[in-house]
Structure 1
Amino acid sequence: MADADPGLNWAARRRQQARAIQRRSAAHAAAGTTDMAPGPFVNRAGTYTDPVRFAAEQRHLFGGDVPLVAGLSNDMPNPGDRLLFEETGVPIVILRGKDGVARAFLNMCTHRGAKLATDCTSSARLTCPFHAWTFDLAGALVGLPGARGFAGHAKADLGLVPVACTEWHGIIFVQPRAGATPVMIEDHLGSFLPELAQLELGKAEPVKAGEMRAASNWKFALDTYGEGYHFATLHASTIGQTHFNDMCVYDKFGPHHRVGFPDKTALALASLPESEWPEVDYGGVHYLFPNTILFIGSIEPGKGFTQIFRLFPGKTPGEMVTKFAVYAPTGVQSDQHRAECEFAFDATARVVSTEDYVIAANGWTNMAAADPMTPIIFGANEIALANVHRAIADRIGMALD
C-alpha cells in the first residue's frame, strides 16, 4: 500500500498550515471580510442543463480520461480485499493482491461477460457464477473447467481486462475505461500534492459509509460545498450557529482548492497576541478535481474525523448520487470515538440531504425550465464556485458562455 514519505514530518506541516489558516481567519473575523475574486462571475443555466455539455462531462471527466477517487487504502487493507466501483456505469472491481498492490479490472468474466463480484467479501479468488471460470488476485485465469472446449486459446490470454489504477498516499484512483492511458497522479495533483499528502490518508480507518441522491445536476449539488454565504439562511440551526456567514479562507491549486470557513471563536483571537492563541487541529474543505470533497474536521482537539463526498452524474443531467463516507484519521481510538465519528456521519448526511440537496433539487427544477442563457451570478465572495466551473469547462473543451 502506497503511503506518505516517512521522511517528511506531515504533522508539523499540518500544524503550520493550521496556524496560517487561523491567522487569516482571525483577520477576516476582525474586519468582517472574506477572500474574494476580483469580481462577480456570470454563469448560465445551460451550464447545468445542456445535454451536449453533460455528455462531454461524462466522456472527459467520468469516462476514463481523469483519475477518480474509488476509496482509501484502508477500505481494502489486506490481500484478497476488494472494492466495487460502478458509479460511472462501467462495472469495475479493485483487488488487493498477495503482494499488497491494488489492481483494477472490468468486473466481467472474459468467457461470456458475467459479473464476477457483487459484494466486497474478501477472497483469494474470483469465481464466475455462470461457468466457474476462476481468476486470481492479479487477474490471471487460474481455473478453466472444460478446458478441452477452448483449445487454441491460452489461459494466459484470457485474464481479466485491466483498468488503470493508482494508489497514492492512501487514496485509490481509477480511470474507468479499459485501455485508458494511465495519468501520472503527480501531474494530476500538481501544486495540490503536498496539501493532500499531509492528510496521511493511508492511516484513515473507515467507520461508516452510505449514499445520498438528489434530483439535481451533479454540478449544482457540488456548488453547495464551496461557499459559506448560505450558512445563516439554510443552516441557521446548525453550522450557522457556530460559523461566520459569508466568510472563507480560500486557496487555489490548479483545478483543485482548499477552503476554510472560520468559526466564531476566531473573532476573540484578533485581540490577543499569537503566543496566547490555542493550537487548533488542521482542517478544511478540500476539493479534488473533478468530483471529490474531503472534509477534515475535529470532534475536539486531538480527536478528529475525515469525511469524503464523491459526486457522480446520473443517466440524465438532472440526476446525481453522492457516495459519502467517514473515517477516523489515525484509526478509531475508542468506542466513544467510533460513536462520535458515526454521529458526525449521521448529522452531516441529515443536513446535506434535507437542506443542501433539497435546495439543489428545487433549483434544478428552475434551471431545467429556464432559457439556457439565463444568467446564474456567482458573487466575488463565491470564489471557489467560479473556479470549479472554469476548470470543468476547460477540461471538457467547452467554453462557458
Structure 2
Amino acid sequence: MEERDWSSLPFNVLAAVLEQLRWSSHPSFALSCRHWRSAVPPFYPAWITPLLLSTARVGAANLRYYSPYYHYNFEVVASCDDGGVARDAKICCATGRHLALEKTRLALDVHLVTGAVRQAPHTAYADHFDFVIYDGGGARRMFGIDAVLPLAVGYTSQIGDGDEGEWEDWTLTEYNVNGPRLRPSPVTNPVFHRGSIYLLGEHGRLAVYDPCKHAEGFKILDKPMSFGFEQYHDSYLVESDQGELMAVLFGRRGTPVHVIMLNEKKMEWEKVESLRGRALFTGTLTSMVKKTKFKWMQNRVFLPMFYKWPETIHVNIVSRDGELAFVPKSSSSNTKYSTMGDHSNGTCCEKCADVWSYKLGQQEARENWGAERVYYGVWVDLH
C-alpha cells in the first residue's frame, strides 16, 4: 500500500478537526501545508480591531460592522430577531457585546451575538433621553440622561443573572427647573470615568454625576473652564484604556485635530502629542482608545467617514470558545482567507485612505471633502 502522511488527511477529516479548534489557531493550522490551508474556510476575526457598528439602512434591524483593518462591511442579516421592536430605534452606545438603543420613552438592550432584545420599562420622564449609556462595569445598568433642559438622569438595573434577566423600573432624579444647565457639545457622548458619568459641554466645561449620590444629580465643575483652543467644530469625550479622560476636537472640515487630556490635579486640559502606540476611534456616541500591534494604526485617530464606500459581505457571526468571527454566508465567496490582511508588514497600504483618519503630528492633514459620513453608528470592541 502507498504510504501516506498527515498532509494527506481527507478534506472532511480536516474540516472536522477545524471545528474543534479556536479561531485564533486556524492561522497556524493553515501554515502547515497547502492541503491543510485549503480546508480552512474564509473567516474574519471580529476581535482584531474595534469595529464601527451601524444599521444597514434606515429603519432596518440588520447590523453592519465595518472593519478598519480589512476595509469591509460585514452585514449580519436579521441580527435583531425581536418582532420589530428595535426597528426605527436610535443607536446610543455599546459595551462589550451589548448594544443600547433608544426609542420614544423606551430603551432597548441588544445582545450582539444572540440577537436577543430586552426592553427597559417605559418612562414618562420625557419623550426620550438625549443619551443612554451602560455602566462602567458591564451591561448591568443603563443610565438615561436628559441634557436639553436642566440636567437630569435616571437609571435601570438588570434583575437576575445572565443575559436573560429583566430590567427594573427607572429610578429618576427629581425634576428641578432651576437645576444645573450645561450646553452639551451636540455630538459628544457621556463617559464613565472613575465610577462617575462625565458629560462634556461646549468650550470644555464638565458636568459630573455620581451614581452613589443619585438624588444630587449632575453637578457642573468649576474647572476646567475651556479647552484653550478656539478653532474646533466637533468634540468627543473618551476614557482611554489607561483610565485617562480625553477629548478629541475637530475643525469644521476635519482639521485641525487636537487630542487633549484632563490633568485631574490641576483640572486643566493639556495637549496630547502622542497616543503612545494606541489608536483612537471616535466620531460616534461610543469612543475608545485601544492599544494596537499594527504600526499603520498607531497614533492615529479614526472617524466614520469614507471616501469610497467599502464592499459589503453577508456573514454569520459565530462564537467559538469565547472568540467571535465573521463567516461569509456563501462558501463560494470570492473573499480571501486572511488574518493579517495587507498590513502584516506594518506599513500603511492604499486601503487606509478609504476611511478618514489623522495621524498625530502629521504636518498636512487630509481634509474630508467628498467623504460620506456614517450616522447613528458606534464603535464596538468584541474582543
- So what's the TM-score if we normalise by structure 2? 0.25
Which is richer in helix?
A: 1
**Structure showing greater relative contact order (alpha-carbon pairs closer than 8 Å, 6 or more residues apart):** 1
- So what's the TM-score if we normalise by structure 1? 0.24
Which is richer in strand?
A: 2
